[in-house]
């Protein structure tokens, strides 16, 4: 029997009690599917008292940073990076990154995330873990040249080697992007070469933008322009797909650039609150028709990968900031984490539709915080704790009734603990 032929019976799908049939890695049919299905060839999942949702899409992560959880809390970004995170990251190697990624994938699967967009180092370690865990990911090697010509050459060479390595895998679940860290850590020359490379390989660019007031001041002092204006001045956004993480402090002119250049925004409200970076003007971006998605950022600044928390906060924070409870609604914040994420990564998933990728999660509704079983989509945004029941990625059942099917959870915890002690000693 192949897991990749799977029938979910009697679940809530798109607001109605119905069945969902998966063939290979695709949602083949949604509706009342008769029992003439070949039971030998099809795995049947009982969907009674369960809701099927599209797997969540986390558009900004540094996944191996699960190992940095709790190591440097209650600090502002520049102090956090310069004095705590970067010195620890100097001790990383592919094995440590592999262990942190296994843990990150496990945490994401358990909280209903099926795809993530990552920027980090030692991609061979990340690729190995993502492949073993069965997740979908877009991976970029994070480049920082600190305006040094020699470093720039090394970073670009590394990035290109990683692109070739990932393309050669020919793994449909693992895509590649370019990851220049930010305009305050990358030279104009590096950014211009990144733009060329993105066009050459037809891949997206993943970058931190306008996260803090400090960095905007740094870029303004250096270039006389705000970050989006500066990058736009040399055509960085032309003819490429860009995912800009954070976008907390934006001028009206910058919002115009984001709209005009169809830049995807990854909103990371919890990381922005924890590092006291600020509150992104998401309602203004939505009003302008900009594609807003959600990210957790790394576990050093969140401190978890539970995207349901991000969904809830993205709905609450803008109500509080604008004193308007209608400013972002339930449907919008849920779509930030599903449909909009898929659009940003150019993937046919994020919605439960026939012909879409079979990346889904089932949630058991027999939980005190999901009763009464009415207005369930409201519960998913405002009340759910993120512990999903079953997860299917690319048609493969990776977790069923809370149990991981192909990996040993205990071994992942042990490996991660060991890797953590290597990092701190």
Ligand X SMILES: CSC[C@H]1O[C@@H](n2cnc3c(O)ncnc32)[C@H](O)[C@@H]1O
**Distance (Å, whole) CA 194 – CA 231:** 12
Q: Which of the listed partners (ligand X, Zn ion, none) does 365 bind, with a CB threshold of 5 to 8 Å by partner kind?
A: none
Environment class of 231 (CB within 10 Å of its CB; exposed 0-12, middle 13-18, buried 19+): buried
Q: What is the H or E stretch that residue 375 is in?
A: none
Does position 211 bind Zn ion by CB under 5 A?
A: no
Tell me whether residue 182 or residue 327 sits nearer to Zn ion (CB atom): 182
**Distance (Å, whole) CA 25 – CA 83:** 45
Does position 126 bind ligand X by CB under 6 A?
A: no
**3-state class of 143 per DSSP?**
strand
Q: Are 381 and 333 in contact (CB under 8 A)?
A: yes
Q: Are 314 and 333 in contact (CB under 8 A)?
A: yes
Residue 297 falls in which region: left (phi positive, over 0), alpha (psi -120 to 50) or beta: left
Among 29-37, 93-101, 229-237, 293-301, which window interacts with ligand X (CB under 6 A)?
293-301
Which residues, including other chains, have CB under 8 Å from residue 260's CB and lie 6 or more apart?
none
Is there a binding annotation on residue 267? no
Is there a binding annotation on residue 172? no
Is there a binding annotation on residue 410? no
Q: Which of the listed partners (Zn ion, ligand X, none) does 301 bind, with a CB threshold of 5 to 8 Å by partner kind?
A: ligand X
What is the footprint of Zn ion within residues 326-385 (CB under 5 A)?
none
Q: Which of the listed partners (ligand X, Zn ion, none) does 144 bind, with a CB threshold of 5 to 8 Å by partner kind?
A: ligand X
Task: State residue 405 phi and psi, 5-degree precision.
Answer: -90, -30
Find the binder of ligand X among 120, 230, 384, 420 (CB under 6 A): 120
Q: Are 203 and 178 in contact (CB under 8 A)?
A: yes
Q: Are 257 and 228 in contact (CB under 8 A)?
A: yes
Residue number of the CB atom closest to ligand X: 142
Nearest to 64 by CA among 40, 24, 19, 98: 98
Does position 297 bind Zn ion by CB under 5 A?
A: yes
Is there a binding annotation on residue 60? yes
**Distance (Å, whole) CA 35 – CA 366:** 26
Tell me whether residue 209 or residue 412 sits nearer to Zn ion (CB atom): 209
Please report the DSSP string for 390-419 in residue order: EEEETTEEEEETTEESSS-HHHHHHHHHHH
Q: Write each residue from 130 to 169 as x if it is in contact with ligand X (CB under 6 A), else as -, in one continuous string.
A: ------------x-x-------------------------
Does position 310 bind Zn ion by CB under 5 A?
A: no
Q: Nearest 5 degrees, angle CA 240-CA 242-CA 246?
A: 165
The least CB distance from residue 194 to ligand X, in Å, is 12
**Distance (Å, whole) CA 70 – CA 26:** 39
Is there a binding annotation on residue 379? no
Which residues, including other chains, have CB under 8 Å from residue 2's CB and lie 6 or more apart?
41, 43
The least CB distance from residue 320 to Zn ion, in Å, is 24
Among 113-121, 234-242, 248-256, 282-290, which window interacts with ligand X (CB under 6 A)?
113-121
Does position 360 bind ligand X by CB under 6 A?
A: no
What is the size of the binding site for Zn ion (CB under 5 A)?
1
Q: Which of the listed partners (ligand X, Zn ion, none) does 9 bind, with a CB threshold of 5 to 8 Å by partner kind?
A: none
Among 96-104, 218-226, 295-303, 415-423, which window interacts with ligand X (CB under 6 A)?
295-303
Does position 122 bind ligand X by CB under 6 A?
A: no
Assigned token pair, 356: 């879409």
Find the binder of ligand X among 208, 226, 312, 318 (CB under 6 A): 208
Assigned token pair, 103: 């843990």
Find the binder of ligand X among 45, 57, 99, 119 (CB under 6 A): 119
Does position 271 bind ligand X by CB under 6 A?
A: yes
**Residues comprising the binding site for Zn(2+)?**
60, 62, 208, 297
Q: Which chain residues interact with ligand X by CB under 6 A?
A: 62, 77, 81, 85, 89, 119-121, 142, 144, 181, 208, 211, 271, 297-298, 301
């Amino acid at each position: 029997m192949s897991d990749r032929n799977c029938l979910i019976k009697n679940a809530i799908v798109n607001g109605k009690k119905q069945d969902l049939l998966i063939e290979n890695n695709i949602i083949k049919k949604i509706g009342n599917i008769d029992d003439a299905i070949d039971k030998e060839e099809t795995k049947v999942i009982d969907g009674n008292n369960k809701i099927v949702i599209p797997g969540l899409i986390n558009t900004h992560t540094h996944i191996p940073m699960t190992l940095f959880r709790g190591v440097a809390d209650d600090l502002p970004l520049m102090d956090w990076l310069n004095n705590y995170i970067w010195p620890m990251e100097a001790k990383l190697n592919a094995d440590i990154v592999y262990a942190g990624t296994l843990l990150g994938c496990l945490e994401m699967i358990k909280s209903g995330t099926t795809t993530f967009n990552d920027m980090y180092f030692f991609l061979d370690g990340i690729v190995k873990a993502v492949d073993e865990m069965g997740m979908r990911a877009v991976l970029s090697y994070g480049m920082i040249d600190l305006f040094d010509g020699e470093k720039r050459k090394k970073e670009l060479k590394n990035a290109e080697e990683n692109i070739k390595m990932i393309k050669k895998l020919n793994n449909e679940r693992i895509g590649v992007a370019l990851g220049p860290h930010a305009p305050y850590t990358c030279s104009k020359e590096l950014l211009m070469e990144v733009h060329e490379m993105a066009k050459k390989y037809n891949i997206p660019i993943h970058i931190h933008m306008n996260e803090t007031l400090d960095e905007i001041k740094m870029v303004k002092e250096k270039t006389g322009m705000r970050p989006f204006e500066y990058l736009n001045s040399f055509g960085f956004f032309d003819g490429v797909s860009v995912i800009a993480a954070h976008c907390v402090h934006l001028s009206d002119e910058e919002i115009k650039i984001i709209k005009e250049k169809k830049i995807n925004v990854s909103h990371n409200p919890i990381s922005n609150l924890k590092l006291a970076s600020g509150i992104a003007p998401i309602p203004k971006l939505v009003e302008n028709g900009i594609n807003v998605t959600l990210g957790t950022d790394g576990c050093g600044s969140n401190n978890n990968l539970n995207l349901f928390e991000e969904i809830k906060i993205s709905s609450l924070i803008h109500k509080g900031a604008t004193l308007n409870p209608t400013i972002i609604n339930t449907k919008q914040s849920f779509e930030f984490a599903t449909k909009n994420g898929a659009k940003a990564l150019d993937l046919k998933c994020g919605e439960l539709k026939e012909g879409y990728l079979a990346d889904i999660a089932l949630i058991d509704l027999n939980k005190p915080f999901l009763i009464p079983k009415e207005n369930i989509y409201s519960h998913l945004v405002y009340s759910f704790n993120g512990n999903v029941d079953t997860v299917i990625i690319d048609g493969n059942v990776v977790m069923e009734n809370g149990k991981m099917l192909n990996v040993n959870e205990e071994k992942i915890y042990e490996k991660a603990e060991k890797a953590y002690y290597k990092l701190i000693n």
